[in-house]
Amino acid sequence: MGDEVNDGIRERLAVVGEIATEIMHELRNVLQVISSSAYVTRQELERGDPEAARPHVAKIERQARIAHSVVDDLMALARGETLHPEPVLLADVMLAARADIGPGSARWDDRLDPRDLRVRAHPGLFARLLHALYENAIQAGGARETTITTRGRVEAGHVVVEVEDDGPGVRAEIAPVIFRPLVSGRPGGTGLGLALARRIAAAHGGSITLVSPGAGGGARFRIELPATG
């Protein structure tokens, strides 16, 4: 029995370590933007031009808000809290998931049935899940503009959300293990995006699977969530 307890503790530590790594990874980007904006702000102030400093201060404030939400959302996940998901418009969560994605990196093809489809979700965490899929699709597509299709519908009492791209698809040798933490098929990857996506889906009482290849040969991921009911 002692071993079972130890296994349980080991598992929790692994989860916490994985989420802490993801938090550090995201905060590093935020801190970089804050440092460079603070530098420009100081320069403008020293030149006696507070008006020119203003947008950079706004950028610092925005990044600080992002840092808070990264910590709040991911700590909730690390503590294994019940999420208290609420019915939210899928379309709104999709937009939040794309907020940081620059124009021109993707062509968005949205097919929600109905258009005001709601999912029972923690909006911040569910947006993070979709963001992980969108980011991977864009990275897999390389330099060209990737078409990303998001489908949403109700199926046999579940809400099904599918994200499909027109990239090269997931390489066969890593496809069976891509949801494992630290498995990455690209240089500079952390291998945490899909591990986190799976954890978020599970925390919603749902699941995520790779349905590969999609109809067009790209990657297709399928998320199932309990119905809004």
Q: Which residues bind ligand ADP (CB under 6 A)?
A: 132, 136-137, 140, 165, 167, 169-170, 174, 178, 183-186, 189-195, 219
Q: How far is the CB of 48 from ligand ADP (least distance, A)?
A: 44
Q: 140 is in the binding site of which of Mg ion, ligand ADP, none (Cβ under 5 to 8 A by kind)?
A: ligand ADP
Q: Which does 73 bind (CB under 5 to 8 A by kind): Mg ion, ligand ADP, none?
A: none
124 binds, options ligand ADP, Mg ion, none, Cβ within 5 to 8 A by partner type: none
Does residue 191 interact with Mg ion by CB under 5 A? no
What's the closest the beta carbon of residue 171 comes to Mg ion, in angstroms? 14
Taking CB under 5 A as the rule, which mask of x and - marks residues 135-154 in contact with Mg ion? -x------------------
Between 29 and 184, CB nearer to ligand ADP: 184
With respect to ligand ADP, which residue has the nearer C-beta, 44 or 165?
165
- Three-state SS for the chain is CHHHHHHHHHHHHHHHHHHHHHHHHHHHHHHHHHHHHHHHHHHHHHCCCHHHHHHHHHHHHHHHHHHHHHHHHHHHHHCCCCCCCEEEEHHHHHHHHCCCCCCCCEEEEEEECCCCCEEEECHHHHHHHHHHHHHHHHHHHCCCCEEEEEEEEEECCEEEEEEEECCCCCCCCCHHHCCCCCCCCCCCCCCCHHHHHHHHHHHCCCEEEECCCCCCCCCEEEEEEECCC
- Examine residue 193 and tell whether it contacts Mg ion (CB under 5 A): yes
Cβ distance to Mg ion smaller for residue 44 or 165:
165
CB of 190 to ligand ADP, least distance (A): 4
Nearer to ligand ADP, 53 or 196 (CB): 196
